[in-house]
Structure 1
Amino acid sequence: MFEQTAGEALIEILTDWGVEYIFGMPGDSINMLMEPIRKQDKIRFIQVRHEEVGALAAAAYAKLTGKLGVCLAIAGPGAIHLLNGLYDAKLDGAPVLAITGQVESDLIGTDFFQEVNLDRLFDDVALYNQRIMSAEQLPVVANQAIRMALTHHSVSHLSIPDDIPHFRVNREARRTNSILVKSIPMAEPHNLDQAVQLLAKPGNTVILAGRGTHSAREELLNFALSQKAPIVLSLPGKGAIPDDHPYCLGGLGLLGTKPAYHAMKEADTLLMIGTSFPFTGFLPKKVNTIQIDINPAQIGKRYPVDVGLAGDAGLTLRTLNERLIERGEDEFLKQCQSRMKDWHAKMTQQGQEELLPLRPQTVPVLLQDILEPNAIISCDVGNVTVWMARNFRISQQQFITSSWLATLGCGLPGAIAAKLAYPDRQVVAVVGDGGFAMTLSDFVTAVKYQLPLVVIVLNNAKIAMIKYEQESMGNAEFGTDLTNPDFARFAEDCGGIGITVHTRDELVAALPKAFSASKPVILDVFVDPGEAPMPAHITFSQAKNYAIHLVKEWMAD
């Protein structure tokens, strides 16, 4: 590694850590990093058209693979553009390394062209945030930055002045290596005793499973089967078990199902696993609550708990399963399953109706028939999230979105990252017209790198979720109309394939054509702008406010 330039040393370190892709845009303050990237063939540089897309793609890559996502940008505007994608990574627990250029060392502090205080700018988003001061410092700090990102599932940032990558690393430089050691934390024995005593009490037990259960499917299902406990999923938890599993009640809240809502109302004991569910108004009142989380700081953070189990979800559940006696009473479970059967039938019916304009629920229902079990779904934010959460039933597919930041525009970058990571799998981005318009320029990135992914745009010429939010508050709709381009023609102009869809029959014909294409495809699907993402259970306040909204709309005419 030594007798190299600092730039060459950095690329070698990234290679040692198994980095496969760097998402970024070339520019003047990173040209000395671009040269060693150009000279090697183990890491592929993916040129994006906007740095935000690069950071969102790096975050999605990390979410899908568990590996380090890497993005690269120049000082000043390029670095600033990264922030939205990096906050998505931070909040969703995705390990990402952001590398930014900076003005040359002797110009820092002179208010030089494109100089921004990157140390301060990245201080909130990055768990590890360092400015490189010398060539000798770079290898050690790079190893530490990557180790911190992977260990803590968070963001690291390195700011590298423009002159540093050109300098040579001398033989006396400190040496570290690319080693990552993992441990499996286990809950304290006395907390496990408390949990077993609580779970042994009679009553209805309901499980709320989050992202932390994706690697503990077998243990989760064994617990549910033993305790006759239905499973409700948070949005990041979607896919932890198949949506068609007889113990699955779907999601909770605005994105959720009626059976999940009623199960929470009727619960006596709530077991929260691998989730820090923020919408506590949908959780039961005055129940016995146990929370399992690998991070002790998350336990009791948003909702009062009686017992906290700080440990790995799989190991903790396995231990509980060994100690708990199987329940015989299953009346509550059967009632939940009966409700869920009716709910599934209703959701399927929504997507089968021959209506014009097309109901947006038609897209996930028909997509169900075309997607292979190992397909990857990158879902954008908005009403589209509601329809995919409720109406698409995951079997084995991977589902990613911007869960905690909920940033519009994440769908296409996620699909690009997915197709790079898993080129042999079907990849679809399901997006709204509002979200897609924010990052659509990078459809040409998919074309450039010959990534045959499918983008399905639910086109209703509205920021539809905000329209609904305004109306449910009793306000008149304002500022939510959109003027859209012809998305199908845009796809053709970029070198991809564009298909316009107005009817259910057209969608049935278009889907197999799109997924068999050798180019990126945009399906521009025109859907009903009046289809509101009504909660599974409507409160009196929501109904009252919606009525007030209708009066305001009538008065405005």
Structure 2
Amino acid sequence: MKASEEVVRILSDWDVNHIYGYPGDSVNNLIEEFRKSQSELKFIQVRHEEVATLAASAEAKLTGRVGVCVSIGGPGAIHLLNGMYDAKADSAPLVVITGQISHDLLGTDNFQEVNLERLFDDVAIFNKRVTSGKQLGPLLKQAFREAYEKKGVSVLTVPDDVFTEKVRKTELRSEAIPSFHLVPDKHSVQKAVSLIQQAKKPVILAGKGGMGARDELLEFAEKIAAPVVVSLRGKGVIPDQHPLCIGNLGHLGTKPAYKAMQNADLLMLIGTSYPYRDFLPSDAPAIQLDIDSSKIGKWYPVDAGLVGSAKEVLAGFNEQLTYKEDRDFLQECQQDMSDWWKQMDEIVSESSGNLQGPHVIGTLNDYLDDDAIVSIDVGNVTVWSARYLRLTNQKFIVSSWLATMGCGLPGAIAGKLNQPDKQVIAICGDGGFSMVMQDFLTAVKYRPPITVIILNNEEIAMIKYEQKEMGHSPYQTDIQDLNYADFAKASGANGYFVQNKDELVAALKECRNNDLPSIIDVKIESREPLPGK
């Protein structure tokens, strides 16, 4: 068989459903194999390779499976970098296959030749150039294992002539990658139990690593009378309006979360290595629970580090710990959060006539399915979504640590391709959307009925705010306006131009039944992005 056929076999064996990419000379032999493949494997042609990696990264975040993308070498490979760094920063497993000029031309400064191994050296945990067809299968299998086990980016650079070489069939996986059962050492567990029992004002900060352990986390927090603060990537780990939840932390967070952290006498980091020390206690003892030992104590000094899964370790704690009777601190935090929600409700219900970001997000809450997927872009929309979206069981996708603008649309495309029966909504600013708007045509081509809400204030408002905070006069933060609803219609999709709440409600209702992608272009007033700070 040809080496390219072996690639398809391995991708299918790893349960890859979608490959995002752009065809071209140095990968055309592989693309031909995708065309001929009769498996469930689908090649999704994007309009820009950056969107390929952003979509593959979003798919990995959403499903936990390895995302895959393909591009030519040279300029195509260079375009991949932004999404690759997003995957690296957010620990999303990603396999990237790039073409390269043929072996006999390497090193001659030929057309589109780039040293790709050097280019990807910083972003990849596995970065190899394939030198023969015999190598391709084994290295691709290793790339998947490394990406899966280390939650990072694996890259294979393949000269175009390698794909056509003849190879022997190799054995595929006989079983799934084994899961390692990590158990914290007894001394650390005993130390953690002692700290919990002594604490009068414990606070939990839960992140992405707590996803899938909702029941155990809630039982744990209830037993020890601890309010739960969530990181941005942890939004949705428990329902936003659960009595134990006091919201996000940081510049986009809530006052109750900040206040609780400043008063805490014990910090418990569960599935997060939150880096912003200004928002954490100054000197409280800490317990950190993480599946990755390298994250323990990375940003905040810990007294007890526990390596293991949140679900298993918290279940163990729940068996040992007794119900805490002193609940004064928790009740104070809950009252603060109740007051906070009232303040947010007042902002959302303001009836000045002109829409603002909070109004849009607050209205959207009433039209979100309980199991919807929401893909958030970066900017003001991140702040507003963190504060005003009231998630229950919805999935929340965002570029958290890299915080790259333009992630909202690719995330929605990946979300709908993977979960075609679920409601999928992207919330974007006009700045973020216009960075990748060419790939709305990708959504139109494959017809996933996503809804893209664009909060259009004709400026890069967060940057404008930052310039003001630094004492500067705003400069080059205005954006040339465009009627994005007309753009959607010109693309062969649905477009809605919205200027008031009635029009917004009508558009949201109609989008629920659309069988094509839709854009809701919402004109909003400019507003400082951190209301209630």
Same fold by TM-score, threshold 0.5 exceeded?
yes
Does the C-alpha gap of structure 1 residues 103 and 201 become closer, same or farther in structure 2, counting only changes over 3 Å?
A: same
Once the two structures are overlaid, the 10-residue window that deviates more, 299-308 or 126-135, is 299-308
C-alpha displacement of 1:354:
1.9
Alignment-mate amino acid for residue 163 of structure 1 = D
Give the secondary-structure state (helix, strand or coil) at the position aligned to 1:361. Answer: helix
- What is residue 131 of structure 1 aligned with on the other side? 129
User: What corresponds to 2:341 in structure 1?
Assistant: 344
Partner secondary structure for residue 127 of structure 2: strand
Q: Kindly tell me: are residues 536 and 311 of structure 1, through their superposed partners in 2, closer, same or farther at Cα, counting changes over 3 Å? A: farther
| Structure 1, 153-162 or 319-328: larger mean CA deviation | 319-328
Counting only pairs closer than 5 Å after superposition, residues 326-337 of structure 1 correspond to structure 2 as 326-337=323-334
1:88-167 equivalences under 5 Å are 88-167=86-165
For residues 99-152 of structure 1, give each alpha carbon's deviation from its aligned partner in whole angstroms, at most 9, with x where no partner exists: 000000111111110010011111111111111111111111111111111111
User: Which of 417, 421, 442 does residue 445 from structure 1 map onto?
Assistant: 442
> What's the TM-score, normalizing by structure 2?
0.98
Distance 1:131 1:334, change over 3 A: same
The residue number in structure 1 matching 2:43 is: 45
Partners of 2:323 and 2:172 in 1: CA distance: 54
Bigger shift: residues 94-103 or 178-187: 178-187
| Partner Cα separation in structure 2 for residue 175 and residue 276 of structure 1 | 36
Partners of 2:528 and 2:190 lie apart in 1 by: 46
Q: Which shows bigger deviation, 308-317 or 116-125?
A: 308-317
**SS of alignment partner, residue 245 of structure 1:** coil
Provide the residue aligned with 2:212 in structure 1. Answer: 215
1:278 aligns with 2:275: yes
Per the alignment, residue 528 of structure 2 pairs with 532
**Aligned equivalent of 1:33:** 30
Which one is further off, 246-255 or 334-343? Answer: 334-343
Q: CA deviation at 1:71?
A: 0.4
Write the distance in 2 (CA, Å) between the matches of 1:90 and 1:35: 30
SS at match of 2:453: strand
Aligned-partner residue type, residue 197 of structure 1:
S
Distance 1:283 1:405 in 2: 21
Q: Structure 1 24/64 Cα, relative in aligned 2: closer, same or farther at 3 Å?
A: same
**How many residues end up aligned between the 2 structures?**
532
Give CA deviations for 1:514-534 in whole Å, capped at 9, x if unaligned.
Answer: 2221111000001111x1122
Task: Tell me the amino acid that sits aligned with residue 385 of structure 1.
Answer: T
In structure 1, C-alpha distance between the alignment counterparts of 2:242 and 2:255, rounded to whole Å:
17
What secondary structure, in the 3-state scheme, does the structure 2 residue paired with 1:136 have?
helix
The answer to whether residue 383 in structure 2 is matched with residue 373 in structure 1 is no
Contact 2:370 2:392 in 1 (8 A): yes
Residue 360 (structure 1) aligned with residue 361 (structure 2)? no
The answer as to whether partners of 2:291 and 2:309 remain within 8 angstroms in 1 is yes
- Is 2:383–2:530's contact at 8 Å kept on the other side of the alignment? no
Cα distance in 1, alignment partners of residues 210 and 365 from structure 2: 23
Show the counterpart of 1:297: 294
The alignment status of 1:265 with 2:262, answered yes or no, reads yes
Q: Are the aligned partners of 2:413 and 2:443 in contact in 1 as well (CA < 8 Å)?
A: yes
Show the counterpart of 1:12: 9
- Residue 286 of structure 2 aligns to a residue whose secondary structure is strand
1:404 to 380, 401, 405: 401
Give the TM-score, by structure 1 length: 0.94
Is the alpha carbon distance of 1:451 and 1:329 closer, same or farther for their aligned partners in structure 2, counting shifts above 3 Å? same
Q: Within 1, Cα distance between the matches of 2:335 and 2:506?
A: 34
Deviation at 1:419, TM superposition (A): 0.4
Aligned with residue 74 of structure 1, among 72, 75, 79:
72
287, 300, 319: which one pairs with 1:322? Answer: 319
Aligned counterparts of 2:150 and 2:124: Cα–Cα separation in 1: 11
Deviation at 1:338, TM superposition (A): 1.2
One-letter identity of the residue aligned with 1:276: S
Tell me if structure 1 keeps the 8 A contact 2:199–2:266. no
CA displacement 1:43-65 (0-9 Å, x = unmatched): 00100000000110000011111
Q: Which moved more, 1:470-479 or 1:76-85?
A: 470-479
Q: Is the 8 Å Cα contact of residues 254 and 536 (structure 1) preserved in structure 2?
A: no
Unpaired runs of 5+ in structure 2? none
One-letter amino acid of the structure 1 residue matched with residue 143 of structure 2: A
Q: 1:478: which partner in 2?
A: 475
User: Quick check: 1:378–1:428 contact (8 Å CA) kept in 2?
Assistant: yes
Instruction: Say which is worse superposed, 291-300 or 495-504, in terms of deviation.
Output: 291-300
**Deviation string, structure 1 residues 63-88 (Cα, Å, up to 9, x no partner):** 11111111000010000001100111
SS of residue in 1 equivalent to 2:92: coil
SS of 1:169's partner is coil
Write the deviation string for residues 148-187 of structure 1: whole angstroms up to 9, x where unpaired. 111111111111101011110047x798767411113111
Q: 2-side partners of 1:423 and 1:441: how far apart?
A: 22
Range with bigger deviation, 262-271 or 53-62: 262-271
Preserved CA contact (<8 Å) 2:13 2:173: no
* Separation in structure 1 between the aligned mates of residue 353 and residue 152 of structure 2, nearest angstrom: 45
Letter in 2 for 1:217: R
User: For 1:253, what is the secondary structure of its paired residue?
Assistant: coil
RMSD, matched Cα: 1.3
- In the other structure, the counterpart of 1:224 is 221
Answering whether residue 518 of structure 2 is matched by residue 508 of structure 1, we say no
Residues 13, 172 of structure 2: 8 Å contact kept: no
Residue 551 of structure 1: aligned partner? none
- 2:324 and 2:176 mapped to 1: Cα distance? 45
Q: Report if the CA contact (8 A) 2:10-2:172 is conserved.
A: no
What is the CA–CA distance in structure 2 between the aligned matches of 1:104 and 1:383, rounded to whole Å?
Answer: 46
- Partners of 1:297 and 1:45 in 2: CA distance: 35
**Structure 1, unaligned runs of 5 or more:** 538-557
Match of 2:191 in 1: 194
Identical aligned pairs, as a percentage? Answer: 51
Q: Once the two structures are superposed, what CA deviation does each residue of 1:366-424 show, in whole Å capped at 9, x if it has no partner?
A: 11000110000000000000000001110110001000100000000000000000000
Aligned residue in 1 for 2:465: 468
